[in-house]
Amino acid sequence: MKKIFKTAWLITWKDLYSEWKTKQMISAMLIFSALVIVAFSFAFDPANQTVKAVIPGLIWIITIFSGILGLNRSFIGEQMNGCLNGLIIAPIDPSSIYLGKLIANFILVAFMQIISVPLLFILFDFKLVGNLLMFIFILLLGTLGFLCVGTFLAALSVNAKSSEMLLPIILFPVASPVLIAGVQATKIVLMNAENISSVYSWINLIAAYDIVFFVLCFILFEYILEV
């Protein structure tokens, strides 16, 4: 297990270093999220309290679609550079590839959220009345669950024709439970601070989803590389 984590960290470092040099994924994610936020801020009146109710959903829309941009490049970039076959035939545990890619994707999406969410709050003049730490925890926990499944399915679809179109089609149905729970939990924390106790059932659902799908994807990843 120690060897798996060491190899996974090396793959994560490789991806982050490559992204630092090219800035392809993070720039696309930030541009998309900024366009969505600016477009919605002009389309709706930020002063309207009813409009503020869409902010939890908007946060997750940005996370989902920006995350898909990153997931698509995660394995397609390896394939285009001829590195995917090298990773497959390398004398390493295939699960370490999954873990390394997952960590790299999570760091990139979290970085996008650090910039995008404050921008969203500023443009919509939204004042957080709930628990900030709980909001961050829910956002990161839900993002982790989405990326656990997304990283697995990105590897599964990389060899398919039109893989960039296929990934969202197969990802949304599988990830819908964690996305629904994430939106509901975020809404309670941001909008209903006085009823904060009701958020724990949604957090438990997200945590259970994360654990189940992480274990399944971690175990089954070596088999999809043979597809």
Angle between helices 55-80 and 94-123 (to 10 degrees): 140
What mean pLDDT do residues 203-215 have?
95
Please tell me the predicted confidence (pLDDT) of residue 159: 72
- Dihedral of CA atoms 38, 39, 42, 45 in degrees, nearest 10, equals -90
Residue 137: CB atoms within 10 Å: 15
The residue with tokens 């590839």 is 97
Q: How many CA atoms lie within 13 A of 68 on its CB side?
A: 19
Please tell me the predicted confidence (pLDDT) of residue 73: 79
For 32-67, what is each residue's pLDDT tens digit?
Answer: 999 999 888 888 776 677 777 788 899 999 999 999
For 82-116, what is each residue's pLDDT tens digit?
Answer: 666 666 666 677 788 889 999 999 999 999 999 99
Q: What is the pTM of this model?
A: 0.89
Distance CA 24, CA 178 (A): 27
Please tell me the predicted confidence (pLDDT) of residue 222: 82
Please tell me the predicted confidence (pLDDT) of residue 110: 95
What mean pLDDT do residues 130-147 have?
92
Q: Which two tokens stand for residue 155?
A: 């590897």
Lowest model confidence (mean pLDDT) among 116-120, 164-168, 194-198: 194-198
